[in-house]
Structure 1
């Protein structure tokens, strides 16, 4: 039996604006907000900033250096600033944000091993496994959230969808089960590489950011997308270690 769609819930009774279909239960399970997002043209991909309703101009004081948002996401791991991320830089970056030796080594192997070739300037593989930041958009895999578009820009509308669809307990937080549901929902057909990459990426994100309550906040996730969060965590850890040495 078709489920009745409540007026006002999905476009004020206007069939053209309804976001759920009576015979598609998944559209009820993953609702889309019909309210304004509080920022102009949220459907327009932002090249330089990760914008949401609370940060229409992106992260305050964050220097994007002319990088796209996807480039900003990985630039933290370019430890010498030459535009190329080598495996040892990935390892050092992971250590800088608090991961142990094993996870850092695993991250280095998986990330540079899987994404280096797609970003190379040549068809010939490099045994150094470099990742070229200028070409990081070529390493965008399938079965993802689509918050980054194919050129590496940030799509505010897609970012907000993560929470309207999957944040069942709190609209500004995602718990482990919700993140797991997110990665499962994003699966494209016949894309085992994308499925695996999505699970690993969000799994690492959860391990890095989860609070004592077992959730990851919306602001943390936004900061992860533009890379500003990595810099914040690294600076906090540096200050904490200096404080311990002086104590």
Structure 2
């Protein structure tokens, strides 16, 4: 009996001495449609509802993180220049001002980390092949340090923070998530995380929530392709 009790405790995800583990619970469950969910996926953003990733989304041999950025590489040369970031934001429906601010923040903060040289470039390019070097702290951990997608971390994000509905998050829950993922003394990471998720919610939130499917599609960039098609369709109707 003592051994059985210890086996049960070995799977426990909460600790009485750490109330935060009860506040943000993780379910000790299997994912029946994801083989080896703790293995990072290089090419597909998979979850229990999408074991083969986003339908009709071409990974082109890029990592999931690279796919997230590749939409903004408008001429497909492997480099995202500020004007391409601006064009990408406009293509998915951002107005001029917000697209310009997004361009400044993204290329201004991420360019140098991805450069091939120690010498800064006045053009602020982002090299997609080196985008893993621009991963900031205080993030969700769904990308690993090489830019692969970790299915278990994605599923656990909803275990921890989707308190109202299991398959979507409210803005309040998203902000709680950004608070819970903070690293100590990481002012840039705290700021970037909140700005990124606020912008994402602003684009994808519906009826007070952002769906799990939409959030997953952000990670592999397929949501940007969808938004561009939607925006073009709306423009034709005007």
- TM-score, normalised to structure 1, is 0.92
1:227 aligns with 2:215: no
Equivalent positions of 1:68-217 (< 5 A) are 68-211=63-206, 213-217=207-211
Distance 1:140 1:34 in 2: 28
Displacement after TM superposition at 1:13 (Å): 6.9
* Per-residue deviation, residues 212-238 of structure 1 (Å, max 9, x unmatched): x11100000000000000001101111
| Structure 2 counterpart of 1:66, from 61, 69, 78 | 61
The correspondence for 2:12, drawn from 14, 18, 22, is 18
Q: Is 1:242 the equivalent of 2:233?
A: no
Aligned length: 233
Q: Distance in 2 between matches of 1:236 and 1:110?
A: 25
TM-score by length of 2: 0.96
Q: CA deviation at 1:164?
A: 0.3
Q: Give the Cα separation in 1 of the matches to 2:6 and 2:129.
A: 45
Q: Which runs of 4+ in 1 moved over 6 A?
A: none
- Quote how far apart the aligned CAs of 1:36 are: 1.1
Is the partner of 1:14 in helix, strand or coil?
Answer: helix
CA RMSD of aligned residues (A): 1.3
Q: Compute the displacement of 1:243 (Å).
A: 3.5
What stretches of structure 2 of length at least 5 have no aligned partner? none
Q: C-alpha separation between the residues in 1 aligned to 2:203 and 2:234? A: 17
SS at match of 2:169: strand
For residues 238 and 210 of structure 1, do their structure 2 counterparts lie closer, same or farther at Cα, with a shift above 3 Å needed? same
Shift of 1:12: 10
Q: Distance between the aligned counterparts of 1:148 and 1:69, measured in 2?
A: 8
Distance apart, 1:43 and its partner CA: 0.2
Which residue does 1:36 correspond to in 2? 30
Name the SS of the counterpart of 1:171 in structure 2: coil
